[in-house]
Chain A
């Protein structure tokens, strides 16, 4: 059974705090992704990674950074959280050449920044 797990389902942080969101997959996937999902805007790509220590900016990377030290783990970092980063954060993974292989999503982390 394929599995993508995220470190927290719900998180509340204060403005200015450093926030770490962790994602782990057990499918030996090369590709990993971080999205945020907001009502009416759909899923927007923050960062993605095709391999260990590699990262690429997505559509909305400002205010975020990522780390991929091991193949199975992809971390999203908010250096200084702000209220406009309150959102649902979804991690996903897929094989390098996805083709008909879908992305698999984690359960999501609902982050509230006060």
Chain B
């Protein structure tokens, strides 16, 4: 079966660093994506990992370990506008995107 797990909610303080974890079990693996979704809006692409290791993009970094079925999204220097849901998704062999339930991040002043 397909299963992706993420924490439901997280809270952090403005200026801090937060790590959002994602574990997955899917029928095949063609890459892992992270999306950001503000309330009432569509998800927007943040990052993509297909090889093990860390990908850095400004304040956001994403890490992948294929052997452990594990990824994390690291957000540095948190800003109020980072309050959103963060979705982890795996592209399986059937070219389907399997999504986790999303993690709602609240950034407090």
Contacts and interface: CB of A to CB of B under 8 A. Distances in A.
**Which residue, B48, B87, B95, has most C-beta atoms of chain A within 10 A?**
B95
B91 interface: yes
A97 to B, nearest CB: 7
A54 interface: no
A51 to B, nearest CB: 12
Interface in A78-114: 90, 92, 94, 96-100, 102-108
A41 B6 CA distance: 11
Contact of A90 (B31, B33, B42, B98): B42
A74 interface: no
Interface residues of B, number: 24
Interface stretch (B13-21, B59-67, B71-79, B99-107): B99-107
Interface string A28-50: 00010101000011111100101
A107 B41 contact: yes
A40 B44 CA distance: 19
A42 B87 contact: yes
B26 interface: no
7 closest Cβ pairs, A-B complex: A105-B42, A42-B101, A43-B99, A102-B45, A42-B99, A100-B48, A105-B43
Interface of B: 8, 30-31, 33, 35, 40-45, 48, 50, 87, 89, 91, 95-102
Interface of A: 31, 33, 35, 40-45, 48, 50, 58, 90, 92, 94, 96-100, 102-108
Given A45-B98, A108-B40, A108-B42, 17 more contacts: A42-B100, A43-B43, A45-B96, A45-B97, A48-B96, A50-B95, A58-B96, A90-B43, A94-B95, A97-B95, A98-B95, A98-B97, A99-B30, A100-B31, A102-B33, A107-B42, A108-B41
